[in-house]
Structure 1
Amino acid sequence: MKLAIIGATGKTGRAVLDVALARHLDVTAIVRHADRLTVTVPTIEKDLFALTAMDLAPFDAVLCTFASGKKSDYPRVNQHLVDCLTGTPTRLLVVGSGATLFLDEQRTKTVGDTLPLIMRHSSREHLKARQVLQTSGLNWTYVAPPMNYLPTGPATGTYQTGHDVLLADHNGDSSISYADMAVALVDELQHPQNERQLMTVAWR
């Protein structure tokens, strides 16, 4: 598998890069600053919005771990990637926001609906970004973290997956580490279970 990781110097991207290399995948890092990479891999040093269809054509899958404080960027990012990949067999996985998940199986409220008013705008932008994928013709997967996404949590190798409803363990804790999210993402890339649908991950 030829895999491109957009944002490979970020926390999620770096964790995924480590897992992908450990599994001997053919990985290319797409980053704005190649000097921030801590491993030697093929690199495309470009701003995401400067990527072209030709840049992404060689890859079987593109994993986007883009993060920005400017929430209105998220729909634009997904639209740009859709524009680049439309008409190709390349699979697109996007790590999005847990605010888009429903709270329970009744599916009447999302996590974003429970946030303070000042934060709800960002959850709406993430929903718009997700909808860009859902209305595309791509082989897409939108991956939403649980309530607590832990940069320094352990790598247990154990997790559960779902679709559009927030997951929790037997104690009601909705969490996962970056390390285990990376395992789940690479597992999904190698053994697809959530093509053209939503995906969420949490510890059991």
Structure 2
Amino acid sequence: MKIAVIGANGKSGHLIAEEAITRGHDVTAIVRDAKKLRPSLPVIEKDLFTLTYDDIKQFDVIIDCFAAWSEEDLPKHVTSLHHLVSLLKDKPNRLLIVGGAGSLYTDKTHTVRLIDTPDFPDSYKPLASNMAKGLDFLRTITNVNWTYFSPAAEFIADGKRTGSYCLGNEEFFTNSKGESKISYADYAIAMIDEAEDAKHIKARFTAIEQ
């Protein structure tokens, strides 16, 4: 399978690309600066917002690991999806997005999200809100093969690779220890499993550590 990873030099993008390579997929990085990439990885050195369909049409799956942290750049979590969707409308390629946990619902009524709860940290609300807006936008799109992957509430960059996880859909949930957490490494496993299995087309899913 041909897979492109947008933001492959970031923490999650790097591990997702490595996981795909380990499984024998043909992986290309799409990054603004190729200096930090492993030398053997094919690269398209281009800003996400300047991508054209000709740049990505060869890929079966495009995995979007775009990240923005500064206040002025947070709306790009929405506008970047607008751009990618505009390229992929009515096309066969799949778009998989590294999403946020704040938009997960607290129960099956789907009326309250994690970001709406009193205990949600104020410092994370601007990022979570923009990522949630991105998901809301995707839900209106019926002619792109998108998948939105929300991590657990605790998303651990340097967590260990256990090789296992539990899947969920729209609701926040916890494991037998009452924890909602997943390492970047296990998240990468679940992401490439989804790339291979295509179980959540035009849908959101989530995963936590067992």
* Category of TM-score, reference length = shorter chain: over 0.9
Query: Structure 1 residue 132 and structure 2 residue 125: aligned?
Result: no
Query: What is the 5 A alignment of 1:40-79?
Result: 40-69=40-69, 70-79=73-82
Q: 1:7 and 1:117 mapped to 2: Cα distance?
A: 26
Aligned length: 204
> Could you tell me how far 1:163 is from its partner in structure 2?
1.1
For 2:37, the equivalent position in structure 1 comes to 37
Query: Structure 1 residue 154 and structure 2 residue 160: aligned?
Result: yes
Q: 1:196 aligns with which of 184, 194, 202?
A: 202
- TM-score calculated relative to the size of structure 1: 0.95
> Could you tell me how far 1:117 is from its partner in structure 2?
4.9
Q: Specify every segment of 5 or more residues in structure 2 that has no aligned partner in the other structure, as ranges.
A: none
Query: What is the 5 A alignment of 1:96-115?
Result: 96-114=99-117, 115=120
Q: 1:152 and 1:123 mapped to 2: Cα distance?
A: 21
Q: 1:49 and 1:73 mapped to 2: Cα distance?
A: 10
CA RMSD after TM alignment: 1.3
For 1:179, the equivalent position in structure 2 comes to 185
- Over 3 Å counting, the alpha-carbon distance change for 1:75 and 1:41 in structure 2 is same
Deviations 1:28-66 (A, max 9, x none): 100111111135111000111011111111111100011
Cα pair 1:141 1:197 within 8 Å, conserved: yes
Q: Specify every segment of 5 or more residues in structure 1 that has no aligned partner in the other structure, as ranges.
A: none
Q: Percent identity?
A: 37
